[in-house]
Structure 1
């Protein structure tokens, strides 16, 4: 049986804790970066987080505002999986590309814009064709 010293065990546990605390997120996401000039010193970064069914649940434009905040757009679905509301994006302090858990529906956008309807809503017919009325 091998014997391990206390320092090796502590250093191993320290590396494990550091690795787990640096992890991105458990959510599925796609990160796309577009260079805006030749040397890519200016770039546009968009991260789309997905739910368990592969539908977009949050779109983050990283540091897209003039003050360096993230521009977060929440995506909601009705009971049939249709996207009936398009919520306006909300500027939020950046979280280094992590998902913004406090922004899940239109209430955050309503409070930011100071209105009761900071979204567009489509009326969809009750048929399998899902046509917009």
Structure 2
């Protein structure tokens, strides 16, 4: 059985044609999505792991992260009252942002996977290893 069929994520490596300069952010971004774009693009460009084909995913991540913050701001302005519908939207947006962040290497686990070279390292103390 292929290790990729077991749910093991492949190692994130430098792209063959990485972006070397951040493109202009989309005009439809709100202020919070724009702030997230400006925060993460230098990191992603510096790691050389994204190309032009990834921009749609990055846009979605920024919109979802901005939405989470916007709903939280609205909740605080309402005196901390939790609107059940908005909480559901916020929860789904946070989940989507978290999943996309993991694919882009923006969370601690994916960064560790990048730094250690992925899951390809042999496990010397595995008693079942051949």
TM-score with structure 2 setting the length: 0.24
Higher helix share: 2
More RCO (CA 8 Å, sep 6+): 2
Q: TM-score, normalised by structure 1?
A: 0.23
